[in-house]
Amino acid sequence: MSDDEPLMTVTTEHLNTGLRGIPVGTCLTSFVTPTEGVHYCGYPVADLAHLPVEDVIYLLFEKELPTSEQASSFRSNLSARGSVDASVHPVLASLPRSGHPMDWLSIGIHTLGMAETTGDWKDDALNLVARMPRLLGLIFRYRDGRVEDIPEDDLSLGLVDRFIRTLEPVGTDVEKMREVLNAYLVLHLDHGGGNLSTFTGKATASGKATLYASMASAMNSLSGPLHGRANQSCLEFVLRVGTSEPSEVERFIRAELDAKRPVYGFGHAVLRAEDPRATYQFALGERLCPEDPNFAIVRTLREVAPRILAENPKISNPHANVDIASGTLLHHVGLTDPEYYTTFFGWARVAGIGAQIVDEQTVMRSGKGVPIYRPKYIAEGQTARRL
């Protein structure tokens, strides 16, 4: 694109539409296409989903996949950054267990920032990436009241294994849990520049709030039911369907639509095909848990729902989205409480949002960074007045 080429004409029709489709900046980490979904630095996400999450985090920060030496040095780098300050324990111990885990996550991130902020965007972003698995594991432990004998962190382990070590799951196939969590994280790391949580995090950072304060803002955005919390609603929906018999599933879907309720796990604002992140997770489910009754429901939903949704011409995309199978996979590996699912989403997004904040604050405009956000609002229903 040339410097003076108009990208679009903004008309009054665009006002009060949440900036939908209005170009506001550039993104160096990812883009989304209607058919292939999200790409990280050019790679379709489905091509990356089998890689260790640390390698894909490296990609988002460095814009290249690591060589094996770079991958091993990046793991050591994260290990050196991973220690979580002891002040997090009394803070988590004091929070109401009735609070949503996303509120705990936001407060946990703020606490880490109060304990130590370097002021260097990239150091703070990578420090937080390295501290997330321990923080999240501790949130689970304190909310469950399992606070006796929490194992020490083992910084020599990878990110997923550090979470599992802190969690100490009982009666779970840890190999499967590791594979499901690694894939979940890779698939949720980033999603272009303009999604609400990423935008919020970058907007907060543009006022030179700390990386931690910016990320807590992003997590607060992500916690909304129209944004990240949809993945919690999706598993709740699957549990409500309760049968994998196609005609009963069809009856259930039609009743939901008649009641003006959404059919969770289907549709997307940008994609116009099945989300490749859903396709990957369907294949993972067929391999890891083909007999799981919830997975059987998801399989039937995938067969039945698009046909019914396509009957409504208003629905731009009747196909499965990323949230359709992720909750069922997490449930299968022992992470059974859907209230926590958005915190896994948040854990993943800390890397993508962190990388985008670093880019906006240290790379854009030849390193000068993006100035404080200040979109224009036009006064309405007001005339100049004097007392």
110 as an active site residue: the answer is no
Please identify, using beta-carbon distances, which residue of 144 and 311 lies nearer to ligand HAX. 311
Please identify, using beta-carbon distances, which residue of 82 and 265 lies nearer to ligand HAX. 265
Tokens of 335: 């992470």
Which of the 8 DSSP states describes residue 84?
Answer: P
Strand partners, 274: none
Give the C-alpha separation, 3 to 1, whole Å: 7
What are the phi and psi torsion angles at 19 (to 5°)? 60, 15
- The active-site residue out of 124, 190, 275, 323 is 323
- Are 30 and 352 a contacting pair, CB within 8 Å? yes
Give the C-alpha separation, 134 to 334, whole Å: 18
- The active-site residue out of 85, 89, 227, 292 is 227
- The active-site residue out of 268, 319, 331, 332 is 268
Please identify, using beta-carbon distances, which residue of 30 and 166 lies nearer to ligand HAX. 30
Please identify, using beta-carbon distances, which residue of 47 and 311 lies nearer to ligand HAX. 311
Which residue from 82, 97, 129, 91 is spatially nearest to 110, judged by alpha carbons? 91
Which residue from 51, 303, 73 is spatially nearest to 182, judged by alpha carbons? 51
Least spacing, CB of residue 29 vs ligand HAX, in Å: 17
Binding site for ligand HAX (CB under 6 A): 227, 230, 262-269, 309, 314-317, 321-323
Closest residue to ligand HAX, judged by C-beta, is 267
Please identify, using beta-carbon distances, which residue of 160 and 235 lies nearer to ligand HAX. 235
120 as an active site residue: the answer is no
Task: Give the distance, in angstroms, between the CA of residue 314 and the centroid of all CA atoms in the same chain.
Answer: 27
268 as an active site residue: the answer is yes
**With the C-alpha atoms ordered 202, 114, 133, 331, is the resulting torsion angle positive or negative?**
negative
Which residues are annotated as catalytic? 227, 268, 323
